[in-house]
């Protein structure tokens, strides 16, 4: 068997959502026998020193907010290792592929399904696609192994692919297609292996976890309860994004899941706009009251719950009143996490040709106002934690020496200082002494 040091170096670099990172880890496991796999750009590879450069890249891209970030990653890979093989997977719609072709003809586009099924490159690809042709030997031994992960403590479990919606602005659905839920037995087996391998956090993820199981006569709440019943251990589970209209169908049973301390009191419900007319133009299929009902249910049952949402400003036809309605729903539901995006028209989506375009100047003004309002709410929400005693799990070192970032039961980041080095995965009891819009500040209970 070839020694590890003699294997070619493969860099798997993922962008975007947890589902994409989960797919990136699966790709890494497929290649682990034949290649030395690293996640991200290898340290010092971009320098002009004699540092080893990758022999190949798998760029697992995200284009949800436009192509710029994915194209930047491609250019970085090209400049870092000009002779490396280049493969792109992830959310790569047609317009992105056309832009890639203007930069280089070296790229081979593929996807996780083709890789896992040991297919060869699509028509027109060159014969030097050595990654794809090496799969037969690697797949049998590595596809069921879970030890190769971006974080040894976090297990990402993709529970479904695709969705049941057709949002007017979304290009992801053009790539991922309609909902396909993975069998609960397979998911539970993955979670068992990850927990036994030392994971303290399990992330259930997909394009829309809210409709998990609708194609197999089950739902997300039933899956979570099965996992909690069949997988003992000292771990916590984070539930992935779910569209409001789907989660309303099983709200009561979903709320019950959070009674178990192994489930982070965190939910991601993207409302996108506070205006029903804009939601209709977006083809979102829920209305503002649906989202408010969900938000109130979680916030009232669990007073320190972390509600996360997404908002798009500047969608075609958005009036000043529509924007004020969005500010209003922000105030009514008071999320602690909010992803604010200025609308970008994606080719081949219905929104691309919509009338009533909002100027970039107005988009910037509105997004700034929304960000200011949100940060005030987030700061007030986090202030409610001051004085609470919490058990937290160390996640990673902080930016400043001697500082660390941990997570509490509501998946809030907690910054703590320690003269003694702390290790990811360690658990400590801390008191929350201060709060910022995006983090809590904690100190050890006995300090």
3-state secondary structure of 424: coil
Asked if residue 25 lies in contact with residue 148, where contact means CB atoms within 8 angstroms, the answer is yes
Q: Residue 58 is encoded by which pair of tokens?
A: 């798998």
- What pLDDT was estimated at residue 135? 36
- What pLDDT was estimated at residue 1? 44
How much is the pTM?
0.85
- What pLDDT was estimated at residue 47? 53
Only one residue has tokens 């009514």, namely 332
Asked if residue 340 lies in contact with residue 311, where contact means CB atoms within 8 angstroms, the answer is yes
Helix (H) or strand (E) holding 238: strand 236-239
Residues in contact with 209: Cβ distance below 8 Å, sequence separation at least 6, in sequence order:
159, 160, 220, 239, 240, 241, 242
Asked if residue 207 lies in contact with residue 384, where contact means CB atoms within 8 angstroms, the answer is no
Give me the phi and psi of 78, to 5 degrees please. Answer: -65, -40
In whole angstroms, what is the distance from residue 354 CA to residue 349 CA? 10
Ranges of the chain with pLDDT below 50 = 1, 118-145, 447
3-state secondary structure of 13: strand
Asked if residue 42 lies in contact with residue 49, where contact means CB atoms within 8 angstroms, the answer is no
The per-residue pLDDT for range 357-393, each reduced to its tens digit, is 999 999 999 999 999 999 999 999 999 999 999 999 9
Asked if residue 139 lies in contact with residue 30, where contact means CB atoms within 8 angstroms, the answer is yes
3-state secondary structure of 142: helix
- What pLDDT was estimated at residue 125? 31
Q: Residue 103 is encoded by which pair of tokens?
A: 């930069």
Across 379-447, where does the E strand assignment appear? 389-397, 403-407, 413-417, 427-436, 439-444
In whole angstroms, what is the distance from residue 272 CA to residue 81 CA? 39
Residues in contact with 345: Cβ distance below 8 Å, sequence separation at least 6, in sequence order:
169, 316, 351, 352, 354, 357
- What pLDDT was estimated at residue 154? 94
Question: For the stretch 25-50, what's the b/e string if a residue is b when 16 or more beta carbons lie within 10 angstroms of its beta carbon?
Answer: bbbbbbbbbbbbbbbebbeebeeeee
In whole angstroms, what is the distance from residue 202 CA to residue 262 CA? 10
Q: Residue 91 is encoded by which pair of tokens?
A: 């959310």
Q: Residue 326 is encoded by which pair of tokens?
A: 């969005």
- What pLDDT was estimated at residue 346? 86
- State the DSSP code for 65: T
189 — alpha (psi -120 to 50), left (phi > 0) or beta? Answer: alpha
């Amino acid at each position: 068997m070839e020694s590890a040091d003699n294997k070619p170096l493969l860099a798997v670099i993922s962008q975007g959502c947890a589902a994409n990172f989960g797919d990136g880890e699966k790709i890494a496991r497929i290649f682990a026998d034949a290649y030395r796999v690293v996640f991200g750009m290898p340290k010092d590879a971009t320098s002009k020193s004699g540092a080893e450069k990758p022999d190949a890249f798998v760029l697992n891209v995200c284009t949800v907010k436009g192509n710029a970030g994915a194209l930047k990653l491609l250019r970085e890979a090209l400049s870092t290792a000009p002779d490396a093989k280049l493969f792109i997977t992830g959310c790569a719609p047609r317009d992105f592929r056309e832009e890639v072709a203007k930069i280089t003809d070296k790229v081979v586009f593929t996807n996780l399904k083709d890789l896992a099924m040991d297919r060869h490159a699509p028509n027109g690809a060159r014969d030097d696609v050595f990654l794809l042709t090496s799969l037969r030997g690697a797949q049998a031994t590595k596809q069921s192994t879970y030890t190769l992960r971006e974080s040894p403590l976090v297990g990402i479990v993709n529970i479904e692919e695709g969705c049941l919606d057709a949002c007017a602005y979304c290009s992801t659905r053009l790539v991922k297609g309609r909902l396909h839920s993975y069998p609960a037995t397979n998911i539970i087996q993955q979670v068992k292996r990850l927990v036994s391998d030392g994971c303290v956090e399990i992330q259930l993820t997909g394009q829309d976890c809210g409709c998990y199981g609708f194609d197999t006569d089950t739902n997300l709440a039933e899956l979570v309860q099965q996992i909690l019943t069949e997988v003992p251990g000292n771990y916590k589970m984070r539930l992935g994004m779910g569209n409001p209209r789907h989660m309303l169908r099983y709200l009561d049973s979903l709320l019950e899941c959070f009674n178990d301390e192994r489930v982070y009191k965190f939910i991601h419900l993207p409302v996108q706009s506070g205006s029903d007319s804009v939601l209709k133009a977006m083809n979102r299929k829920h209305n503002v009251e649906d989202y408010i009902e969900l938000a109130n249910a979680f916030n009232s049952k669990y007073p320190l719950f972390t509600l996360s949402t997404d908002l798009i400003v500047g969608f075609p036809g958005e009036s000043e009143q529509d924007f004020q309605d969005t500010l209003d729903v922000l105030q009514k539901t008071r999320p602690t996490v909010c992803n604010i995006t200025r609308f970008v028209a994606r080719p081949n989506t219905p929104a691309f040709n919509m009338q009533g375009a909002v100027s970039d100047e107005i988009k910037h003004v509105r997004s700034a106002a929304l960000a200011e309002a949100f940060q005030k709410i987030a700061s007030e929400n986090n202030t409610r934690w001051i004085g609470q005693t919490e058990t937290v799990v160390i996640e990673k070192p902080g930016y400043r020496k001697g500082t660390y970032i941990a997570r509490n039961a509501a998946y809030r980041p907690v910054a703590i200082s320690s003269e003694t080095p702390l290790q990811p995965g360690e658990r400590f009891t801390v008191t929350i002494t201060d709060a910022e819009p995006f983090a809590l500040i904690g100190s050890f209970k006995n300090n």
